[in-house]
Chains A and B, each alone.
Chain A
Amino acid sequence: MAQEPKKLLILGGGTGGTLAANRLRKKFKASELRIDVVDQDNQHVYQPGLLFVPFGLAEPDEIVRRRNKQLHRGIGYHESAIQGVDINANTVSLENGEILDYDVLLVATGSVLQPEETEGMNGSQWLKTVFTFYDMEGASALAEKLDTFESGELVINVIDMPIKCPVAPLEFAFLADWFLTEKGVRDAVTITYVTPLDGAFTKPVASATLASLLEDKGINLVTEFNTAEIDNEGSKLVGYDEREIPFDLAVVIPLHGGAAYVEESPGLGDELGFIPTDNATMQSLVAPNIFVLGDAADVPASKAGSVTHFEGEVLVENIEAFIAGRELTARFDGHANCFIETGFSKALLIDFNYETEPLPGHYPFSVGLPLLKESRINHLGKLMFQSFYWHGLLPGRDIPGIGSDMPMSGKDKDLVGAGTTPASATEKGN
């Protein structure tokens, strides 16, 4: 008699859940593995596009597609919020009353914004003078606001790490400089970038490059600022050290945590709702049959789509091995790369992993894209990425010549050692 297929249940149908489902569907016959995906809605947002919405460079409907349409045939789709996981019974309960059981669980529910965790953020000025561009509602409302904003103090504030795409707030500052310059009102606006980090970015060489770009563009940098409160009446950020930063328009990046159901699932997540995960294999540390992909994992890598993509290749191999009862041998090296929009149709590119910080040079080889340097070609790369996202990354096609490991061949290795910090030393100041 034929054996029952094993059951793989994937929580979250975003970047990670979708690419893993599609890649695994190609590896297993339906008679070997049943694959189901759960998500709370059917709107898949291309999140990097949110950066462009406030400046009218992307329209909301250009960056959203239906989730179930991104999944290949033979993958089940359940549209309901997840309520909880019972890691002992191997079951997941959904808000619509369904209870799903699994042999292997993949947690890919990303991170959620938690504006309510900062005093005053959800206050009377929310979506009036205090905005975020990290979700569609905020990005669209901010587009309207920026339309009429012509003078005063624009303050960009990252409340605390971790956040998705840690360079996006810097890109917002660069694009705001460009946008206000084009409008002819740049002289009437002060732009201030306020961060809890001790520099513009977490990694030393890139941090120095980005800080000097901020300076060139006349953007003020305030570091080691830990926001205690947004004072709605007084229109100012108040720090735990009692420093105050007045604003006319505040663009904030709220605290991030894991998906809400994690807290309701005993033993699944840490204090912030992220899942303890092996840095290299993407197997969770909470149960051997639970794997984690993307922002939901607590690995010391950026919460970014590129990271999710590179992790995905390793994860798929390891889930295959796990189902076959073999040892997990594929290893993720922490590889991340991101284009950083710097305004005026330019961008720079950074590429790094757990061990090596972003270095100058070229990607992926010595004749490739310039690293850590502004160029038009990188800006085009960033724009082309959306098409690659829908047609390459989500369906699970490989890019020729680009593997999940970070390439070293085009990099300026002289700087290794001078500023290189192993992951264990990439700490943050508080």
Chain B
Amino acid sequence: MTTKLLAGTPVEVNEEGFFVDPDVWTEDMATELAAEANIAVPLTDKHWQVLHYMRKEYFEKGTGPTVRKLGKSSGVTVKELYQLFPKGPAKLAALCAGIPKPRGCV
């Protein structure tokens, strides 16, 4: 566990950089995290749509959605998701949305 300064506020994150407490997240923090991950900022409306959807799902279900679920229900297609958050959309979007890494499948 380490502390990271985001938008002027110290935030606790785990080894992989995911928030320990999703409640402390702000949109400014998301912008900083996205820039760190080489996503062009300011973020587009589509980015925000995904990030807010991730948070909503997390608070309702206790885990962020996987790429497939995002593609089915966030209103953004899987292809677009890979354009918005290259490489691993669910992981990267969860990171920027200040929620834990989505639980995958075994």
Listed in ascending order, the chain A residues whose CB lies under 8 Å from chain B are 160-162, 166, 202-203, 224, 226, 228, 240-241, 255, 270-272, 300-302, 336, 423-424, 426-430
Q: A408: shortest Cβ distance to chain B, in Å?
A: 19
Complex contacts, A226 vs chain B, CB 8 Å: 67, 82
| Segment touching A, from B2-10, B20-28, B43-51, B68-76 | B68-76
Contacts of A423 in B (CB 8 A): 103, 106
Instruction: Among B82, B87, B105, point to the contact of A428 (Cβ < 8 A).
Output: B105
- The answer on a CB contact under 8 Å between A272 and B88 is no
Q: Is the CB of B103 within 8 A of A161?
A: no
With beta carbons under 8 angstroms apart, the residue of B91, B103, B106 that contacts A166 is B106
- A258 to chain B minimum Cβ distance, whole angstroms, is 12
User: Is the pair A271, B104 in contact by a Cβ cutoff of 8 Å?
Assistant: no
| A424 in contact with B87 (CB, 8 Å) | no
Asked whether A224 lies within 8 Å of B88 as measured between CB atoms, the reply is yes
CB distance from A273 to the nearest CB of B (A): 10
A169, chain B: closest CB distance, angstroms: 14
Q: Contact check: which of B89, B101, B106 meets A301 at CB < 8 Å?
A: B106
Q: Which residues of A contact B91 (CB under 8 A)?
A: 429-430
Determine the chain B residues whose CB is within 8 A of the CB of A426 once the complex forms: 103-104, 106
Q: In the assembled complex, which residues on chain A have CB atoms less than 8 Å from the CB atom of B67?
A: 160, 226, 430
Contact A255 to B68, CB < 8 A, known contacts A224-B87, A228-B79: yes
Residue of B nearest to A276 (CB): B61
Q: Would you call A240 and B106 a contact (CB within 8 A)? A: no
A335 shortest CB reach to chain B, Å? 12
Q: Roughly how many angstroms separate A352 CA and B80 CA in the complex, as a whole number?
A: 37
**Is B90 in contact with chain A by the CB < 8 A criterion?**
yes
User: Are the CB atoms of A272 and B68 closer together than 8 Å?
Assistant: yes
Cα(A335)–Cα(B37), bound, Å:
38
Q: Which of A161, A271, A429 meets B88, CB within 8 Å?
A: A429
Task: Report Cα–Cα, A202/B104, bound state, in Å.
Answer: 9
**For A241, what are the chain B residues with a Cβ–Cβ distance below 8 Å?**
82, 86-87
Contact of A427 with B69 in the complex, beta carbons under 8 Å: no
Contact B79 A427 (CB under 8 A): no
Say which residue of B73, B79, B87, B103 sits within 8 Å of A430 (CB atoms).
B87
> Is B13 an interface residue, CB under 8 A from the partner?
no
List 3 tightest A-B contacts by C-beta distance, closest first. Answer: A428-B104, A430-B88, A161-B105
> A300, B88: Cβ atoms under 8 Å?
no
Q: A224-B87, A302-B106, A430-B67 are in contact. List 9 more A-B contacts (CB 8 A).
A: A202-B105, A203-B106, A228-B78, A228-B82, A240-B78, A272-B72, A300-B103, A429-B91, A430-B87
B104 touching A427, Cβ below 8 Å: yes
Min Cβ gap B69→A in Å is: 5
Report how far A430 CA is from B91 CA in the complex, Å. 5
Which has the most chain B C-beta neighbours within 10 Å: A203, A301, A430?
A: A430
Contact A300 B69 (CB under 8 A): no
Chain A residues with CB below 8 A from B69, complex form: 270-272
Q: Which residues of A contact B79 (CB under 8 A)?
A: 228, 240
Nearest A residue to B62 by beta-carbon distance? A424
Q: Give the residue among B68, B102, B103, B105 with the most A Cβ atoms within 10 A.
A: B105
CB of B39, distance to nearest CB on chain A (Å): 15
